Structure 1
């Protein structure tokens, strides 16, 4: 860039480098999605097409950014996880949050006609806000994700009984809210089953557990402990940071070839993480054999 008398204004820019060796979560939330869901008549309490659209946009983000090791979403929010060793955008908070948020938003709008072909978009268009949050240990990261999944369950149970009371029980929204104001989770389950024959445990897992997006490699055997990966103070980040440029490029290529899986599973218990050790290690796993490989054998 050529020097000029105006260049001094760069001195006003503030550094926003995130702490090294910490997990980075870029969490995005829909802006004004209550009005959006009303405008386009989303089904209550859950609109499958709307959730599928969110997941499709998240998959697109992961395809564009191999550094994202996992995404978790429900309703109009998504969390994208970067390994603590990532150096993407020199770990600048503004670059990470704005790039992930804008990329997600672009794909959400682009894919909208696929999931809502009879409901063309018109201004105001869907938009999302984003922020970066740091977590120092693997335990903290897993607790964050556990919090989001627990929140998904709590909110969905409430919304399920609330909208059932309104749509099938002929209560007003105010009456439904009053009826649920002091109820426990077990009481809500009982109201659904006794009053409407709905077993909440039979509701689709996407609604109850949210969506987990990750790169699918060969699963580790059941019951075989994986040392280090569940340790909240593991040092995998330091090991990955020391990779040579050639090794790092190889890792990136393997990650780009992996299939992006979307599942609706429990991520609070250890089983999910034990069978997918590559997520927390930040290293690529073993690609499953392709159909061509199977034919050759």
Structure 2
């Protein structure tokens, strides 16, 4: 009832508005996924089924939320990026995060039987938590994405070597940890190659680079656009007519959402896909 004596409780609600004119990254992580992975027998060091399940859920989230411009995933985490000038459907951090987390979790459970048909889910069910962070510049955003991909490489090289020592070398976990203590990347590569004839460079890209999800348009030649500078120069969202907004919406809906395993640290990835930084749809590929 409006204006009731109980309405005073609304005073306890505190604002958690998202800082305007910033790139918003919502990063989600699996809760208790070490135990979860052990419960369902995930393969070590990587379970391709589990990674493809994460990617399927991420693609579904992007399909439902067209304001997401790019996403990056590795292991049990995913980062979803909103363009700095887009008018978010929800300006409150808590509601934006809860929308991403709940949608991702729902699709993760929905797609589970597709990737684990012989292992039905049982309580405790998979769940994720999340947080939203604002980055003011393109360089900040790219450094964040680079950080996650570098972290993917470091962790995967360690895990690949660790499990090779256990599965192929007959060590237990304590022995494997002791062997790898203080080693550098070159040392781990040497262990893999000299002891087990494993060339780390030949490992699947999905394990080494993680997964990048984005709407795909026809790539452009590097140097023909300066999307980064243009994005940093915009202080407020560009005002468009309803017709233009509708045209952009239709072009986004037609664009295929792809999952790739590419280097997102180097400039080439961004230079060939200016729409990721400009928030303007590109040219739909002819085959689509």
Cα RMSD of the aligned pairs, angstroms, is 1.5
Q: 1:233 to 1:282 in 2, by over 3 A?
A: closer
Aligned equivalents of 1:124 and 1:249: distance in 2? 43
Alpha-carbon contact 1:45-1:163 (below 8 Å) kept? yes
Aligned equivalents of 1:84 and 1:193: distance in 2? 45
Aligned equivalents of 1:237 and 1:254: distance in 2? 25
Aligned equivalents of 2:235 and 2:176: distance in 1? 49
Structure 1 equivalent of residue 164 of structure 2: 164
Structure 2 equivalent of residue 281 of structure 1: 278
Secondary structure at the aligned position of 1:112 is classed as: helix
Q: Does residue 18 of structure 2 align to residue 21 of structure 1?
A: no
Q: 1:53 to 1:70 in 2, by over 3 A?
A: same
Structure 2 equivalent of residue 148 of structure 1: 148
TM-score (norm 2): 0.96
* Residues matched between the structures, number: 288
Structure 2 equivalent of residue 234 of structure 1: 232
Q: Does residue 202 of structure 2 align to residue 205 of structure 1?
A: no
Aligned equivalents of 2:27 and 2:197: distance in 1? 36
TM-score (norm 1): 0.93
Alpha-carbon contact 1:89-1:95 (below 8 Å) kept? no
Q: 1:267 aligns with which of 247, 264, 269?
A: 264
Cα offsets for 1:141-163 (capped at 9, x unmatched): 00000000000000000000000
Structure 2 equivalent of residue 41 of structure 1: 41
Gaps of 5+ in 1: 292-297
Aligned equivalents of 1:118 and 1:139: distance in 2? 45
Q: CA deviation at 1:233?
A: 6.6
Secondary structure at the aligned position of 1:179 is classed as: helix
Alpha-carbon contact 2:68-2:81 (below 8 Å) kept? yes
Cα offsets for 1:183-230 (capped at 9, x unmatched): 110010010001000000000000000000000011112xx3043323
Structure 2 equivalent of residue 137 of structure 1: 137
Equivalent residues in 2 for 1:239-254 (5 A)? 240-254=237-251
Secondary structure at the aligned position of 1:91 is classed as: coil
